[in-house]
Amino acid sequence: MKFYITTPIYYVNDRPHIGHIYTTTIADIFARYHRMLGDDVFFLTGTDEHATKVVVAAAEQGLTAQEWADRNAAAFQETFRKLGISNDDFIRTSQERHKRKVQQYVRELMARGDVYLGEYEGWYDAGQEEYLTESKAKEYEYKSPISGRPLVRKREKNYFFRLSRYEGALQRLLEEQPDFVRPDIRRNEVMQRIAEGLNDVPISRLGAGEWGIPVPGDEQHVIYVWIDALFNYLSTVDTPERERYWPADVHLIAKDILWFHAVIWPALLMALGRPLPRQVYAHSFWIAEGQKMSKSLGNFVDLEKIDGYVSRYGLDALRFFLASQGPLGINDSDFADAKFREVYEAQLKNDLGNLINRSLAMLQRYRGAVPAATSHPLRAEAENMVASYRACMDGLDLTGALRAVGSFVTRANQFVEESAPWKLARETAEAGRLDDVLYSLAESVRLLAVVLEPVMPSSAAKIRAQLGIAQRPGAWAETSWGGLPVGAKPGEVTPLFPKVET
């Protein structure tokens, strides 16, 4: 099966921060999971470059918009590379391959009568170069929410997309395919807003020769940045070699950009007669130390902070923290230092790390190699864990999957206490029982390496090395109990998650 997963493409004028890194890391985990299932995976991320702000920021630096975008896109790419993100491509909307396709799509929409030249009139914030809705303008007493200067009533010729035509079709989509927007609460929000009625939307702004993609056949206009950006998901795979990936299986986003993905995007695709993505999953937000992250507070969990965690605790610990504590679902999550430390200490160092370390150390000390077993005391629990892990992962419930793994680790640690291998080792009559205990523990450790591989790939490799088994990435078939070869010799056994001094 093919599996195509995307992240939003990030505004190139921002510096990468925890928000971008979170969505991309989560997408990476699902991509790795599907590769493990043997799927033909395509995982896409990239940068959204044609915002007018880019021109302003570039000018301040004495650069062209393209030079500025090149620099910042490189920063995103470098960040994702350092964080071990396994994306298959990185799309930049200023690339020719994208621009060409977007023009083609807009031409098609025009030919089908879904794009027309109309006039837009509204309250314009000249400083921000954007129109405000009537209600927002009123709320701010017809002054710019940013600069406080009076808004101007402005009329502009724009190309419009006939969104209104698709109101019924969108309603049906959300009703008949309840999984199209997840979680449910987000789907309800979208349905309520559609029920209020859909107006046609401008898809261009005036500006000959400006930074952006010209409207085909009318170079006085450039395509509105959001329309340009949404098309990335299609443009990247709209080639003979990659067309098998369309439609996308999951567009992973946060709730801030749900409307564009759940309404505008499927409507554009309907208008183009293209198959629709299977799912838009909108997660919630990270806040930082109990507070919303914002430019004015300057409290973003930025790259510097993130690098600090990676160098102190390791990349896998960061990935585990994001995956197990992150806002997949309806609640926001707090990125708090104390919480990070607690998760590291309790779940990684004490539970998982300790289980692996003591299991392998005892295997080494008492047997030196994996013994044959006659009974398998942890087998049923392990099989349950694998089954619920899989069900959760297939439903994008990463936290649930890790909870299943965590409960199994707790159970296995209890089993160590109950069976007390150090006592069995002193009784020759208990040799068979000790073999069973050591095999069950070592086999559990092996299974943990397989299921944890998407989340913590380098720890999974270390576990395999310590266990003395093949260094290839796990495959789903390896989650069957009993795969550990008798006679395998553990390598050097060292703590995977050592104590971190703070």
CB of 53 to ligand MSP, least distance (A): 11
Q: Which stretch binds ligand MSP (CB under 6 A): 8-16, 32-40, 426-434, 482-490?
A: 8-16
Contact 215, 106 (CB under 8 A): yes
Contact 235, 98 (CB under 8 A): yes
* Residues with Cβ within 8 Å of residue 198, at least 6 apart in sequence: 163, 164, 166, 167, 170, 263
Question: Residue 271, CB half-sphere, CA atoms under 13 Å: how many?
Answer: 27
Query: Is residue 9 a contact point for ligand MSP (CB under 6 A)?
Result: yes
Pick 45 or 357: Cβ nearer ligand MSP? 45
CB of 253 to ligand MSP, least distance (A): 4
Query: Is residue 257 a contact point for ligand MSP (CB under 6 A)?
Result: yes
Q: Which of 3, 8, 73, 385 binds ligand MSP (CB under 6 A)?
A: 8
Q: Which of 119, 121, 256, 394 binds ligand MSP (CB under 6 A)?
A: 256
Q: For residues 225 and 93, give the distance between their C-alpha atoms in angstroms, rounded to a whole number.
A: 9
CB of 257 to ligand MSP, least distance (A): 5
CB of 495 to ligand MSP, least distance (A): 32
Query: Is residue 95 a contact point for ligand MSP (CB under 6 A)?
Result: no
Query: Is residue 10 a contact point for ligand MSP (CB under 6 A)?
Result: yes
Question: What mask of x and - would describe binding to ligand MSP in positions 223 to 252, judged by CB under 6 A?
Answer: ------xx-x--------------------
Q: Give the DSSP per-residue string, 363-394.
A: HHHHTSSPPP-S--TTHHHHHHHHHHHHHHHH
Q: Which of 151, 271, 293, 455 binds ligand MSP (CB under 6 A)?
A: 293
238 bridge partner residues: none
- CA torsion, ordered 217, 91, 262, 175, to nearest 10 deg: 110
Q: For residues 320 and 195, give the distance between their C-alpha atoms in angstroms, rounded to a whole number.
A: 40
Q: Which stretch binds ligand MSP (CB under 6 A): 12-20, 190-198, 340-348, 357-365?
A: 12-20
Contact 413, 450 (CB under 8 A): no
Pick 53 or 157: Cβ nearer ligand MSP? 53
Query: Is residue 264 a contact point for ligand MSP (CB under 6 A)?
Result: no
CB of 328 to ligand MSP, least distance (A): 10
CB of 95 to ligand MSP, least distance (A): 15
CA–CA distance from 189 to each of 183, 200, 252, 260 (Å)? 10, 20, 17, 13
Q: Which of 3, 4, 5, 19 binds ligand MSP (CB under 6 A)?
A: 19
Q: Which of 23, 52, 324, 444 binds ligand MSP (CB under 6 A)?
A: 23
Question: Which 3 state secondary structure label does DSSP give 362?
Answer: helix
Query: Is residue 20 a contact point for ligand MSP (CB under 6 A)?
Result: yes
Query: Is residue 29 a contact point for ligand MSP (CB under 6 A)?
Result: no
> Edge-to-edge strand order for the sheet containing 40-48?
89-92, 40-48, 2-11, 250-254, 280-283, 181-182
Radius of gyration for the chain, computed over Cα atoms and rounded to the nearest angstrom: 26
Which residue has the CB atom at the shortest distance from ligand MSP? 19
CB of 196 to ligand MSP, least distance (A): 23
Other residues' Cβ atoms within 10 Å of the Cβ of residue 132: 19
Q: For residues 125 and 152, give the distance between their C-alpha atoms in angstroms, rounded to a whole number.
A: 7
Pick 11 or 245: Cβ nearer ligand MSP? 11
CB of 248 to ligand MSP, least distance (A): 11
CB of 425 to ligand MSP, least distance (A): 49
* Structure token pair of residue 495: 């703590």
Q: Which of 253, 392, 438, 445 binds ligand MSP (CB under 6 A)?
A: 253
Other residues' Cβ atoms within 10 Å of the Cβ of residue 47: 27
One-letter identity of residue 78 = E
Q: Which of 4, 30, 42, 48 binds ligand MSP (CB under 6 A)?
A: 48
- Footprint of ligand MSP on this chain (CB under 6 A)? 8-11, 14, 19-20, 22-23, 48, 229-230, 232, 253-254, 256-257, 285-286, 293
